[in-house]
Structure 1
């Protein structure tokens, strides 16, 4: 192993500087307020920042004027179904579509393709993972954020079940879509993990 390879493998990792080629507001958005600037595991740091931000958002979702933002699909009258958290699913979709032009601009300005410091896609995925959990449960049991974080990172890193194919969508759409799908899978696994023991014990 030569000197350059040793330096690459064991040297101190530094924050890439290509982001300087675009404007500060775009960077603020795509790095989720700088969380993606971590020289190590920026995707993990972005996901962690999103999970932390989700707690006060869950508190906000319980307050007026949001009030009732959870409902049981397909109907309240049934004793089974999947909870849909309208607040978080709306937040995930807003982040998804609002981030597209910023991600596109960041990649064009810096001449990169899905660089590690773009982590707004991880934010979208974390919010989508929480879109299947009632806000009251998140507030009462904040540990659920850690579980959602872990499940999302699993799907985001390994990209099973068609997630990898979403990356092949053109440009910014591919950057965002795989994390959105990963968040859906993480949320469904989270729901099954919470509901299955309760059903078994009934």
Structure 2
């Protein structure tokens, strides 16, 4: 994304309380329980809220399912089915709410819709074992930082996903950003493990 596109997307003035144009439940879902209502950096606030929620989710998954929720693809590689399911449920479940919110408010991908950031954070954690998240929660900070990098700059085809129609474009770019962030998170964990041992 070039400077002009960044300025157009993030530099525009927000209409205060724009989300009031839709019903309360839709606003609650699309702003992820109000985190997107932040007057400054709503995308960052939504990502932060999702990162905070991810820790108790990992604790719950670890206590209920243990390692059975991970699909092993080798010694250092797994797919965390719990966070994959969470990301996909948020992705497909949010589509009608995002479409309704944009239609009701006459907007196109407004900053206060942050449910897409939630999907992206959960997708980033899909490539990471739950027990490591529980034992080393600071990896969540790395996941947050990597995801925000991809969400803001939108490299490697992420920007093209925004061109999909309606809510699909709003959600898909963050899903792909989460995939890229997850791969880098996984690679960083391997690097840290190799240095430690």
TM-score (norm 2): 0.89
Deviations 1:133-156 (A, max 9, x none): 111100100101100000000000
Q: Give the Å deviation of 1:83.
A: 1.2
TM-score (norm 1): 0.87
Tell me, yes or no, if the aligned pair for 1:15 and 1:38 is still in contact at 8 Å: no
Q: Give the Å deviation of 1:21.
A: 1.4
Query: Separation in 2 of the partners of 1:132 and 1:35?
Result: 25
1:196 aligns with 2:191: yes
Query: Separation in 2 of the partners of 1:115 and 1:175?
Result: 9
Tell me, yes or no, if the aligned pair for 1:48 and 1:149 is still in contact at 8 Å: yes
Q: Give the Å deviation of 1:63.
A: 1.9
Pick from 83, 97, 106: which aligns with 1:102? 97
1:43 aligns with 2:27: no
CA RMSD of aligned residues (A): 1.7
Q: Give the Å deviation of 1:79.
A: 3.5
1:173 aligns with 2:157: no
Q: Give the Å deviation of 1:104.
A: 0.2
Q: Gaps spanning 5+ residues in structure 2: where?
A: 1-10
Query: Separation in 2 of the partners of 1:154 and 1:128?
Result: 15
Which structure has the larger Rg over C-alpha atoms?
1
Structure 1 stretches of 4+ with a deviation exceeding 6 A read none
Larger helix percent = 2
**Partner in structure 2 of residue 23 of structure 1:** 23
1:183 aligns with 2:153: no
Tell me, yes or no, if the aligned pair for 1:103 and 1:172 is still in contact at 8 Å: yes
